């Protein structure tokens, strides 16, 4: 993988802490590694984690306006990784 012929990669032993907050309830999720990218250019590793959540109550139904992204469908749901809120997918352009 490298001109030297050898590259040693050590993956982190800790998982990120992932939670969903919905209706004032905090739900713990168990993240699993989804993809591991090893870069010989940057000499580093990037891990994409995946976690899934099945709501205990139906999510609010709403019709999207043309100027809204898909993230609006998740109104009232807050995703937290290591204690920090993250923006849902589709909200980048909002």
pTM strictly above 0.75: no
As a whole number of angstroms, the distance between CA 30 and CA 22 comes to 17
The rounded mean pLDDT for the chain is: 81
pLDDT for 45-67, tens place per residue? 889 999 998 887 777 777 777 87
How confident is the model at residue 91, as a pLDDT? 59
User: What is the side-by-side order of every strand in the sheet holding 84-86?
Assistant: 25-29, 18-22, 77-81, 84-86
Residue with the bigger pLDDT between 41 and 75: it is: 41
Checking if the pLDDT of 88 tops 70, the result is: no
Report the percentage of the chain scoring pLDDT > 90. 26
Rg of the chain (C-alpha set)? 18
As a whole number of angstroms, the distance between CA 11 and CA 45 comes to 8
**Phi and psi based region of residue 70 (left: phi greater than 0; alpha: psi -120 to 50; beta: remaining):** alpha
């Amino acid at each position: 993988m490298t001109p030297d012929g050898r590259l040693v990669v050590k993956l982190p032993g800790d998982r990120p802490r992932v939670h969903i907050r919905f209706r004032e309830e905090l739900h713990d999720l168990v993240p699993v590694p989804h993809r591991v990218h090893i870069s010989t250019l940057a000499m580093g590793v990037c891990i994409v984690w995946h976690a899934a959540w099945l709501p205990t109550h139906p999510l609010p139904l709403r019709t999207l306006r043309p100027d809204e992204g898909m993230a609006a469908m998740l109104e009232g749901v807050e995703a937290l990784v290591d204690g920090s809120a993250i923006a849902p997918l589709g909200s980048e352009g909002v």
